[in-house]
Amino acid sequence: MRLRERVASVPPFVAVPVVVVVELAATAALGRGQGWPGGAGHVLVSALLLAAEAVLVYCAAYLVGGRGPALAAGLLLALVPVVLAERYFVTGGGGIDYRAVYRHQVLPAEAGLSGRSAVVSACLFLLAGCLALARTRLPGWAMLGLSGAAAAAAAVVYPRAWIGLAAPVAAAVVRRAPAAVAAAAAGAGIGLLALVLFRHVPHVAFGWHSMGITLGGVREFTWSRRLLEYLPLAGVVGLALRSPTAAAFFGVLLVALVILPLAQTHDLTAYLISIVPGLPVYVLLTASIGFLVPRSRAGRAAAARAPATS
């Protein structure tokens, strides 16, 4: 049996615990000796958030491509910080070893030990994606309405991510279902109204020059800036081949949570912390590059049986 077939044969009740354990073990290993903040209760809550994030990434990938892509996406979520900390970041200007900076300052935010609202927002956006893609007995407009409500909650929890409210609406537009568009827009609109009344709507900075400066910091402390740029873009294309609805949803989130923050700061550490809500989206899109590989007849038949959406 080939490796792909072996991976695809792993049932979710086995794969999900494996993904969660690997996620928590990798985070604990990276945090050893770093002096991360928080007592036992704080660490427990963060562990639960990381576990939820891993499960939701698995769920979203499963809804699009089935067991194999779901397991790959879940494991990639756990291993990306390890690769960044050990292999991707390098020593840059001033003799700064950015691998140490990443582990000490950025990873606590990604683990939910500091700025926990960003990780909560990431989980809610992933939940919104799963609701938009899931096939249930409820009508499609109801699921998109719930997706809009989940995205609204994500924006209320972390106002900087409010542009992500457009993701459920974009997914509904791709489906060409007016009722679904109205329901998604209503859910997102309620979230925007809540931001206006009870929180605030942050200014969204945009400028190619500012983005270029931030990307220059990425180039200074990594061995390949282009790799970081092209992986999710290729993933959007791959995802579109499998599920246009998913591509619309997560493509909008990529813009809102990863690309637009490039113009908000010129400091690499501040940028990496600001895109914590978008990190699982980035990973999910990177894992979707596999959808660019042509499938055999058996693979197409298996995909037809998977719970993917249009």
Give pLDDT tens digits for 172-213: 999 999 999 999 999 999 999 999 999 999 988 888 888 989
Note the pLDDT tens digit of each residue in 95-141.
899 999 999 999 999 999 988 999 999 999 999 999 999 999 999 99
Name the pTM for this structure: 0.93
Ordered alpha helix ranges (H), 39-94: 40-65, 67-83
Report pLDDT for 309: 54
Return the percent helix, strand and coil in the chain, to nearest 5. 80, 0, 20
**DSSP-assigned letter for residue 266:** S
Mean per-residue pLDDT, 26-39: 87
Note the pLDDT tens digit of each residue in 287-299.
999 999 886 655 5
Token pair for residue 76? 């990639």
**DSSP-assigned letter for residue 88:** I
**DSSP-assigned letter for residue 289:** G
Query: Chain-wide mean pLDDT for the chain?
Result: 91
Amino acid at 262: L
218 or 174: whose pLDDT is higher? 174
**3-state secondary structure at position 48:** helix
When mean pLDDT is compared across 170-184, 215-229, 238-252, the lowest value belongs to 215-229
Q: Does residue 306 contact residue 66 with C-beta atoms inside 8 Å?
A: yes
Report pLDDT for 295: 66
Q: Would you place residue 41 in the very low, low, confident or very high pLDDT band (cuts 50, 70, 90)?
A: confident
Q: At what angle do helices 40-65 and 116-133 cross, to 10 degrees?
A: 20
Mean per-residue pLDDT, 262-290: 94
Mean per-residue pLDDT, 272-277: 95
Amino acid at 86: E
Q: Would you place residue 7 in the very low, low, confident or very high pLDDT band (cuts 50, 70, 90)?
A: confident
Q: How far apart are CA 84 and CA 25, in angstroms?
A: 16
In the chain, the percentage of residues whose pLDDT exceeds 90 is 73
Residue 6: partners with Cβ closer than 8 Å, 6 or more residues away: none
Report pLDDT for 256: 96
The dihedral sign for the CA sequence 231, 13, 123, 26: negative
Report pLDDT for 294: 80
Report pLDDT for 123: 98
When mean pLDDT is compared across 44-58, 195-209, 293-307, the lowest value belongs to 293-307
Q: Would you place residue 308 in the very low, low, confident or very high pLDDT band (cuts 50, 70, 90)?
A: very low
Mean per-residue pLDDT, 44-67: 96
